Amino acid sequence: MPSLTSRLYSYKFFIPAAIVYVLFFLAPTFLSFFFSLTIWTLSDWKFTGLDNFKIFLTEPSLNIGLRNSLVYATATCALKVVIGFLLAAFLCTDLKTKGFLRSMIYFPNILSTIAVGIIFGSLMHPSHGLINTCLAAIGIKGPDWLGNPRMALFSVVLVDVWKGVGIAMTIFIAGIQAIPQHYYEALMIDGGTAFHKLRYITLPLSRSSMNSVIMLAFIGGIRSFDLIWVMTKGGPGFTSDLIASIIYKQLQGGFYGISTAGNVVLFVIVSIIAVPMYRFLTKVEVDL
Amino acid sequence: MKRKIARLAVETVAVLLALAIFGVPISYVLTNAGKSSAAAAQMSIAPAANTQYLANFSSVIAQSSYMLIRAFLNSAIITIVSIAVLLGISSTAGFVLERRKGRGISWINFLVLAGLMIPPAVVPTIWVLKTIGLYKNMMGLVLVEAALAFPFSVLLYRGYMGSIPRELDEASFIDGCTGFDLFMKVIFPLMKPVSATIAIITSISVFNDFVNPLYFLPGSKNVTVQLTLYNFISTYLNKWNLLFADILLISIPPLIFFIFFNKKIVSGMVAGAVKS
């Protein structure tokens, strides 16, 4: 007689999930390794070895995406972690407007990325956008946020942080609220200051939420496509192209092999950066 | 007393900053959505002399032979069916993943966790959809959305399953339940809170999704609300009033969800992030 386990928890329960997940996620992922080595028309393919990767990594208009994606992911991730943490620490103190501030900061998350891109495209207009009008009022000549090749990527980073910092904050708040109060009381008795509390209790003990935020923000940033697409289309020129926007441009151009090679590059980056990063981050975690 | 005043000052500054950084962009959209095109071109946050919200809304709705209405319909269908498929596949998988142990289960866990990190491969997915005849088809997009949201939902279900005692399973078994009965009559009803959380989070993310419809559902017949908004950028070149009116219209459903389910959204997100 089969055991209780295999009778009640049959593997048959996996069938629906397996069909959907394998067909629309796992299979395409495995196929991408093969098709990235071909010239591909979707109906027909010709094997070309590593040519697509060579093109991807040597063509200046393509390999700029690699650098930009790393910069973009690192910058958005760092800003979200630092700002999110400070906001959370502040909003876990005794404030009357706590609820209002939290909702306010979280709110941009329910807007679609396209909407946010359009709104900031207007606010960042070089001559009469609201941001530069305000800067002019205090005597600063605002930059051409999205038109200046050196600024464009950075401007989109700021918008991404504006939209996403609420999630980071929310995760940090959950972590901070889980810290037992008696740690703080002990520090008070020893005469610690507010800075000591933050530095020696809140920061180390919210480590696990920090790990989540770092992973989420970094992986989100490295795959990011929609915000840059609606705000700059990778321009001016190719200066703000990300890997994901190049994947889409190659797809539009019908270069399916190169587009897929871009996907594989993304996969490799995630594996060689994110996976060891996750291991490292979870190692330094402290138990409460 | 001095401390109290300092606190009040800090709090006032915080509120003002939040209003400037998060409030101003929102009120900018709200006021300019009701201006004439000429007035909106000034890009000022000053309130309009005379507002024309209704005229702007109706011209956005009527644009390109009422494309927005079809888009709303499409987005609603895609969102609802995606949620149904997602709940079906991830609740069953989460149930068995939590209850069984063994090497096979570890492998499945690994494949699921990998899905949280690995970026989906775009062209191969198009190829799969084409091969089975679901490219440019709403059902194809639904299945992709469900597959991409699957890992996160499984984690939530698996986590929640841990709090449902195994004694229940054994009692149902003694009462003559099969595994299927157990799941349908006992487990799935008990998991209602997670199902609700997943449904709410997914509804906002699928409704607001731009990337997947762009890849897998091209063509004007199948527009979704985010695709119309994107297409209107070139249609309404510099007519900010109409663009903003469109933004307001399509932000209403997520906004309603946010107002009613704020707590659930936040708790679900945090549970998923912290448990992974």
pLDDT digits (tens, 9 = 90+) for A213-246: 998 899 999 998 999 999 998 878 888 899 999 9
ipTM at complex level: 0.89
User: Please, which residues 35-94 of chain A have a Cβ atom closer than 8 Å to chain B?
Assistant: 35, 40, 42, 90
Instruction: Using pLDDT thresholds of 50, 70 and 90, give the confidence band for residue A178.
Output: confident
| pLDDT attached to residue A1 | 46
Mean pLDDT of A154-165: 95
CA distances from A241 to A76, A78, A155, A285 (A): 16, 20, 13, 35
Q: What pLDDT, on the 0 to 100 scale, is given for residue A267?
A: 93
* Least confident range of A44-48, A104-108, B142-146: A44-48
C-beta pairs of B79-84 under 8 Å, 24+ apart in sequence: B79/B202, B79/B203, B79/B206, B79/B207, B81/B138, B81/B139, B81/B142, B82/B142, B82/B145, B82/B146, B82/B149, B82/B202, B82/B206, B83/B198, B83/B199, B83/B202, B83/B203, B83/B206
Inside any domain, residue A155: yes
Architecture of domain B67-240+260-275: Orthogonal Bundle (1.10)
- Which of A17-26, A160-169, B173-182, B232-241 has the weakest average pLDDT? B232-241
Query: How does A158-195 read in b/e, with b if 16+ C-beta sit within 10 Å?
Result: bbbbbbbbbbbbbbbbbbbeebeeeeeeeeeeeebeee
Pick the more confident residue, B274 or A272.
A272
Render A215-268 in DSSP notation, one character per residue: HHHHHHHHH--HHHHHHTTT-STTTT--HHHHHHHHHHTT-HHHHHHHHHHHHH
User: Which pLDDT belongs to residue A44?
Assistant: 83
**Mean pLDDT along residues A60-82:** 92
Closest CA relative to residue A279, chosen from B221, B240, B1, B113? B113
**Residue B154 and residue A17: Cβ atoms within 8 Å?**
yes
| SS3 call for A47 | strand
Dist CA A139 CA A216 (whole Å): 39
Neighbouring C-beta atoms of residue A245, cutoff 10 Å: 24
A16–B89 C-beta distance less than 8 A: yes
Q: Is the pLDDT of residue A163 over 80?
A: yes
Quickly state the pLDDT bin for A287 (edges 50, 70, 90).
low
Place of tokens 């004007």: B220
pLDDT at B236: 83
Q: Which residues of chain B have pLDDT under 70?
A: 272-276
For residue A43, is it within any domain? no
User: Radius of gyration over alpha carbons of chain B, in Å?
Assistant: 24
- A252 domain-assigned: no
CA distances from residue B96 to A13, A172, B101, B136, B180 in whole angstroms, order as listed: 7, 31, 9, 34, 11
B43:A129 CB<8 A = yes
- Give B228→chain A minimum CA distance, Å: 10
Closest chain B residue to the Cα of A112, Cα to Cα:
B208
Q: Is any Cβ of chain B less than 8 angstroms from the Cβ of A138?
A: no
CA distance B224 to chain A (A): 12
The rounded distance, in Å, linking the Cα atoms of A248 and A181 is 50
Gap between the Cα atoms of B192 and B186, Å rounded = 11
Helices vs strands, H then E, count in chain A: 17, 2
| A266, B3, B20, B22, B133 from B12: Cα distances, Å | 44, 14, 12, 15, 59
Query: Identity (one letter) of the amino acid at A269?
Result: I
Range of the domain at A229: 68-243
Q: Cα(A205)–Cα(B257) distance, rounded to whole angstroms? A: 33
- Is A187 in CB contact (< 8 Å) with chain B? no
Q: CA-to-CA distance for B242 and B253, rounded, in angstroms?
A: 19
* Cross-chain Cβ contact A112/B250 below 8 Å: yes
Angle at B209 between CA B206 and CA B213, to 5 degrees: 105
Which of A65, A72, A29, A79 lies closest to A222 in space, CA to CA? A72
| Domain parsing of chain B, residue ranges | 67-240+260-275
CB B143 within 8 A of CB B134: yes
With respect to residue A288, please indicate whether it lies within any of the assigned structural domains.
Answer: no
In chain A, which residues have their Cβ closer than 8 Å to the Cβ of B229?
A: 112, 114-115, 118
pLDDT band at residue A126 under the 50/70/90 scheme: confident
Query: Is A112 among the domain residues?
Result: yes
Task: Determine the Cα–Cα distance for residues B122 and B213; give it in Å rounded to an integer.
Answer: 12
Nearest to B89 among A20, A104, A167 (CB): A20
Residues of A in contact with B154 (CB under 8 A): 17
Amino acid (one-letter) located at B214 = L
Judge whether A227 lies within some domain. Answer: yes
User: How many alpha carbons fall within 13 Å on the CB side of residue B165?
Assistant: 5
Provide the pLDDT for residue B235: 84
A111 touches chain B (CB under 8 A): yes
Cα distance between residue A258 and residue A253, in whole Å:
10
Q: Note the pLDDT of residue A63.
A: 84
pLDDT of residue B102: 87
In chain A, the number of structural domains is 1
Q: What CATH number does residue A187 fall under?
A: 1.10.3720.10
- Cβ–Cβ contact A131 with B under 8 A: no
pLDDT value at A58 more than 70: yes
Q: Give the pLDDT confidence score for residue B272 in this predicted structure.
A: 63
Which residues from chain A sit within 8 angstroms of residue B251, using beta carbons?
A: 110-112, 115
